[in-house]
Amino acid sequence: MRLLVLVVLSISLMVVDARFTLLQPVRSQMSLVLMQSYWITDLPQRLYQGVASQFGSRTELVAENEKLKTEALLLQGRLQKLAALTEQNVRLRELLNSSALVNEKVEVAELIGMDPNPFTQRILINKGERDGVFLGQPVLDARGLMGQVVELMPYTSRVLLLTDSTHSIPVQVNRNGLRAIASGTGNPERLELRHVADTADIKEGDLLVSSGLGQRFPAGYPVATVKEVIHDSGQPFAIVRAVPTAALNRSRYLLLVFSDSRSPEQRATEAAQAQEAADHQGQVAPGTPAPAVPAAAATPAGASATPAAPVNGHSAPAANSHTPATPAAAAPATAPAKPAHGTSRERH
Amino acid sequence: MVNSTRPRNGWFVWFTFVLGLLLSVSPLPQFMEILRPLWLALLVTFWTMALPHRIGMTTAFVLGLAEDVLYGTYLGQNAMILTLISFLILSLLQRMRTFHVWQQSLVILVVFGLGQLAQLWLSALTGNRQPTLALLLPALMSALLWPWVSFALRGLRRRLGIN
């Protein structure tokens, strides 16, 4: 009798949970307590990492620091080029009258657990509804797209990875823009491209990026690289296998993408305004350090020569670079030696 | 043992259940994931056999709901499986008690295997069908672990005098 009651109860619970959102509050209240268990089971690893970093040898730390520095340098070098390219891209898009590229906002989240079911590819992250995460939100790691949020809890959420067998993502070959759909296979190292014509121009090593056609993932993020293309004359379509670029089962820190909900026109005008403002600021900026120049020029005349010397050295290139510093030089003639000390402090 | 009417040390039962919940989500190496024993089902089986007057289908149902929240399945899926397992154990109770521990293991293999098949059926209904029958491996693993689990828990139960 009790069995009957409980089985009927669980079936009705399942139906209600599948069809309606009625049970969502119950589930999130329960998850508040229960999700701590992922945190607890993750604790030994956390502790181990903490201890390892505490007792990491100095040489290791120095080596790591060195490596990070070179990496930062490389990335900054690339970023310099990127600024120019972005600007060029915006200009070209203006010429083409198409909407500007969006700058998505990202937030860092940390992995707290893998789904215990070996047949699904899902992970848990430490950001939830209270942090502004929403259903269907794209998740990246440093190398590419990882998946999307499928379940929200107050302080955690569940992410379905690209390689889950129920997941598909619209992609594009970066080289020529060929569109396809990449489906997960359940294997964390493999995606399959479905229904690609046998004659399609796709080959080994091609980078697949998200095309943004599904309205869910932002366009242009790397998804996978093509590993093999098999042309089987007995099959109607080519078999294309790809490896995800993101380290799906190794990344510990992930990025949540917040794309804005504005319409393309709004985005374009706002991007144009932002660009204008930036240009304007760029023009004004050279003028701003000017007030420091007369102060520096005035100090050598004063008694305090030693603290002023670095100031002079610092602002000298600024003074050289733009000769129209005349209004600035003329104006603060009344504010010389006394604030010079102060400015030199600030400069240091 | 002193007074069989009043429950004693009931906290220990719930402590083992909490431990079981933790074990059922603890990270394992990739190749072991598929072999993860059904810890909660094992614990429910043991306590159902030891304290049938206190631990039964309702407890199993509540624990199953907790597991559903942890696994992100529909509420009620694991609850139903655990309730079924608990029901089968309860109905086999008299026979199970006279069995040798290895015979109990065999019964558990069959019961948990049925549970896993029901699980397969339910997850096929809800859209994520497992591709293979490898999901029977956890039942096998649990059956192999049963002698040790029951030995350890019986020892603890004697020492703490739980009834």
Nearest-CA distance A28 → chain B (Å):
8
Contact A119 B25 (CB under 8 A): no
d(CA A334, CA A330): 10
Token pair, residue A109, equals: 């989240």
Task: Read off the pLDDT band of A100 (50, 70, 90).
Answer: low
The 10 Å Cβ neighbour count of residue A88 is: 10
- For residues A175 and B122, give the distance between their C-alpha atoms in angstroms, rounded to a whole number: 44
Taking all residues of chain A, what is their mean pLDDT, rounded to a whole number?
77
Nearest CA in chain B to A121: B128
SS (H, E, C) A85-115: HHHHHHHHHHHHCCCCCCCCEEEEEEEEEEC
**Pairwise CA distance, residues B116 & B85, whole Å:** 10
* A35 vs B contacts (CB less than 8 Å): 70
Three-class SS state of A34? helix
List A241's β-bridge partners, or say none.
Answer: A192, A228
CA angle A121, A126, A130 (to 5 degrees): 120
A6/B30 touch (CB, cutoff 8 Å), yes or no: no
Helical (H) or strand (E) element with A8: helix A2-19
* pLDDT of amino acid A143: 85
ipTM, 2 dp:
0.79
pLDDT number for residue A208: 93
pLDDT digits (tens, 9 = 90+) for B119-139: 888 888 877 666 677 888 899
pLDDT of amino acid B82? 93
Q: Which residue has the tokens 């005035």?
A: A298
Show residues of chain A in contact with B83, CB under 8 Å: 3, 6-7, 10
Chain A residues with CB under 8 Å of B58 CB are 2, 6
Q: Between chain A and chain B, how many beta carbons pairs sit less than 8 Å apart?
A: 102
Q: Do B56 and A116 touch (CB under 8 A)?
A: no
Give mean pLDDT, residues A288-317.
41
DSSP output for A208-271: EEE--TTSSSPTT-EEEEEEEEE--TTSSEEEEEEEESS-TTT--EEEEEE-----HHHHHHHH
Interface residue of B17, B26, B32 to substitute, partner A, most A CBs within 10 Å: B26
Tokens in use for A161?
A: 């990875």
The predicted structure's pLDDT at residue A106: 81
What is the Cα–Cα distance from A259 to B47, expressed in whole angstroms?
51
A145-152 and A157-161 beta bridge pairing:
antiparallel
Closest in A11, A38, A122 to B76, CB measured: A11
* Cβ <8 Å between A113 and B80: no
Q: What is the DSSP letter of A335?
A: S
pLDDT band at A315 (very low <50, low <70, confident <90, very high): very low
Q: Where are the beta strands (DSSP E) in chain A?
A: 105-114, 122-125, 138-140, 145-152, 157-161, 168-173, 179-184, 191-197, 207-210, 222-230, 237-244, 253-258
CB contacts, 8 Å: A13 with chain B: 74-76, 79
pLDDT tier at A304 (50, 70, 90 boundaries)?
A: very low
Per-residue pLDDT tens over the stretch A260-291 = 655 556 666 776 777 777 777 766 554 444 44
Give pLDDT, residue A267.
Answer: 60
* Closest residue by Cα to residue B40 from B52, B26, B30, B54: B26
Would you state the pLDDT for residue B27?
A: 80
**Averages of pLDDT over each 10 residues, chain B, 163 residues:** 60 90 84 86 92 89 92 88 93 90 93 92 76 83 93 90 77
Identify whether the C-beta of residue A243 lies closer than 8 Å to the C-beta of residue A227: yes
CB proximity list for A309: less than 8 A, separation 6 or greater: none
B-chain residues near A27 (CB < 8 A)? 69, 75
Is there a contact between A91 and A105 (Cβ–Cβ < 8 Å)?
A: no
Nearest by CB: A42 against B27, B72, B87 = B27
Whether A144 has a pLDDT exceeding 80, the answer reads: yes
Q: Is the pLDDT of residue A310 over 80?
A: no
Per-residue pLDDT at A293 exceeds 90:
no
DSSP conformational letter for B44: H
Burial class (CB in 10 A: 0-12, 13-18, 19+), A333: exposed
Inter-chain touch B80–A10, beta carbons under 8 Å: yes
CB contact under 8 A, A119 and B130: yes
Q: Say whether A37 and B61 touch across the interface (CB within 8 A).
A: no
Q: Which of A30, A37, A165 sits opposite B22 (nearest CB)?
A: A37
Residue B126 backbone dihedrals phi, psi, to 5 degrees = -90, 5
Of B64, B76, B131, the CB nearest to A17: B76
Contacts of A122 in chain B (CB under 8 A): 72
Find the closest chain A residue to B119 by CA distance: A117
With an 8 Å Cβ cutoff, are B83 and A3 in contact?
A: yes
| pLDDT value for A266 | 66
Q: What is the pLDDT of residues A38-61, one digit of tens each?
A: 888 888 888 888 888 788 778 888
pLDDT of residue A325: 40
Residue positions counted in chain B: 163
The H helix count followed by the E strand count for chain A is 9, 12
SS3 content of chain A, % helix, strand, coil (to 5): 45, 20, 30
